[in-house]
Amino acid sequence: MYLYESVTHRGARRWLPCLALAALPLIAQAASDVEQLTKDPKNWAMQAGNLANHRYSELKQINAGNANQLTVAWTFSTGVLRGHEGGPLVIGDTLYVHSPFPNKVYALSLEDQSIKWKYEPKQDPAVIPVMCCDVVNRGVAYANGKIFLQQADTTLVALDAKTGQEIWKVKTGDPKKGETTTNTPHVFKDKVLTGVSGGEFGVRGRITAYDLETGKEVWKAYSTGPDNEMLIDPAKTMAWADGKMRPVGKDSSLKSWKGDQWKLGGGTTWGWYSYDPELNLVYYGTGNPSTWNPSQRPGDNKWSMTIFARDLDTGVAKWAFQMTPHDEWDYDGVNEMILADIKVKGKMRKALVHLDRNGFGYTMDRVTGELLLAEKFDPAVNWATHVDMKTGRPQVVAKYSTSKNGEDFNTKGVCPAALGSKDQQPATYSPKTGLFYVPTNHVCMDYEPFKVEYTAGQPYVGATLEMYPAPNSHGGLGNFIAWDAGTGKIVWSIPEKFSVWSGALATAGDVVFYGTLEGYLKAIDHNGKELWKFKTPSGIIGNINTWENKGRQYVGVLSGIGGWAGIGLAAGLTKSTDGLGAAGGYKDLAKYTELGGVLTVFALPNTAPPAGERTAAADK
């Protein structure tokens, strides 16, 4: 039996076992220092740059007038040859960088690039076959003198930032059930938040908050199932319906699944989270439902494919919005939520901007959860005509409905492919221009679902895919775009031969950086004009970061081909349907790059004259 207990902070509520109420401890909140550290642009203290996922820097020593003079300052090999996602952190005079499995962590001195310490966890390599789309890791987190690493085997560990010694560690999942972890931990206030991967293994997704200092679990919220386990208040948690926000009602998830299918329901949480301190709300997305065969799971499959806004202290959901009900194409909803105060259709709003795998860019009111705008950010998107603004539901084109076409039928020409018009590779937002700069995929697919039985720890996919460039276009697999989230329009687009799988970076110097799968780091101006490029040792799926040390600005990026797009090259897969279709779609990558694992750091030459700054305002 459960009852509601009122929680003093902001009137939030949570489910608690009634017998445990008397034993509840008073938890002292020791806020972390990371929020303050992000306000100094000399640091790069969070993977996303700040709490709002802007990936923007106020540094402007490198600007649109001198970016063409960038040169390599130094490099560092991680000693691992697989997909390198995420990027380094810089706190003061130390840089912290990670690797994919086995998830090494290095602390490097910015003075002479010497290794201050190295941490290499002992993990069972049996976890590798359970990892869906390469053995990537999206980076470490920092707070209060600790480095937080989320290992592939679901171990969350806190290390002493000065010595690399373990302070505490906790197991967050079970690889024997197909649960792994590839996400970066997120530190908000006094908590470390982490998720789980494994939607292709019948995992039940969740987000868990741990105490920053002790590693003790504070709350856990599942993506599917009973209200009490999801930390949903049927009367208070709101969702968009009939053109307004309404309570989700009792058993909103259970009613949307057939029988106990929700127990294998996916909705994993391996993406990027953001946090609004004024609202005390954390925002994140949930992934695809299991299996990929939609015929085996009738219903909307709530709350997979969903944006959640939760109270950070209690975990209780304030609102939820499902982008792709009854997903039929693997359009995970885990991409980052970027928080920005922008004009939407002429009116200032506290907005949340989410560029979803399904090809629609959503602009929401982050306070209320109201849907403000939903438009296609890739012209190839064809699986739906538009999003009905009253219901929030995409209007599916019957021809591309794998559910309607049924099992063992190959639905051809679906755009985007399962890896979406954008996967986890994070966009950047520039407050100077008001635009979002977005790495995108321009890929379509053939999708054939088939019946599959669940076995713990074994793949639970149930679909065969093939991928290829969007037809009747520029022939490439990607674009890098500027997106106006207030109008839902593409401002400009740069075609790329392959998907742009790196995280982007915008700076106050009016330079935007992104990396390509061939291995180029590129610098462009705010109009999309290329200023400079450099070929790094391997394909780039890492995120570009910047920092300052001793008066000099640096830009760094991890290169190491892999991830879903590069899994064929990284794992030696050759069949066109291998890697859930990516091996065939990206087979030409082998002509342009090879495996690697290198951090490359760039700066202006010491002798370079400080070229005159260019600004967006001046260009206008």
- The catalytic residues are 330
CB 350 within 8 A of CB 309: no
At residue 282, what is the residue type?
V
Cα separation, 214 vs 216, in Å, equals 5
Contact status, residue 301 vs residue 289, Cβ threshold 8 Å: yes
In angstroms, rounded to a whole number, what is the distance separating the alpha carbons of residues 183 and 199?
Answer: 14
User: What's the Cα-to-Cα distance from 427 to each of 107, 238, 335, 490, 505, rounded to whole Å?
Assistant: 27, 27, 9, 14, 8
Helix (H/G/I), strand (E/B), else coil: 96: strand
CA–CA gap between residue 551 and residue 567 (Å, rounded): 39
Give dist(CA 222, CA 567) in Å, integer. 29
Asked if residues 264 and 290 have their Cβ atoms less than 8 Å apart, the reply is yes
609 conformational bin, left if phi > 0, alpha if psi -120 to 50, beta if neither = beta
Residue owning tokens 């290390």: 159
Give the residues across from 347 on adjacent strands: 344
> What is the rounded CA–CA span in Å between residue 408 and residue 317?
38
CA nearest neighbour of 336 among 276, 426, 421, 269: 426
Q: What is the 3-state secondary structure (H, E, C) of 456-524?
A: CCCCCCCEEEEEEECCCCCCCCEEEEEEECCCCEEEEEEEECCCCCCECEEECCCEEEEECCCCEEEEE
How far is Cα of residue 202 from the mean position of the Cα atoms in its chain? 20
Those residues whose C-beta lies under 8 Å from the C-beta of residue 142, and which sit 6 or more positions away, are 34, 37, 45, 46, 89, 91, 96, 148, 161, 187
- The answer to whether 299 and 256 have CB atoms below 8 angstroms apart is yes
Question: What's the angle, vertex CA 276, arms to CA 275 and CA 282, rounded to 5?
Answer: 40
**Is the separation of the CB atoms in 269 and 195 below 8 Å?**
yes
Whether 235 and 246 have beta carbons less than 8 Å apart is answered as no
Say how far apart CA 481 and CA 232 lie, in whole Å.
36
In whole angstroms, what is the distance from residue 186 CA to residue 270 CA? 11
What is the C-alpha to C-alpha distance for residues 336 and 475, in angstroms, rounded to an integer?
A: 28
Phi-psi sector, 52: left (phi>0), alpha (psi -120 to 50), beta: alpha
Beta strands in 306-410 (DSSP E): 306-311, 317-322, 338-344, 347-355, 360-365, 371-376, 384-387, 394-396
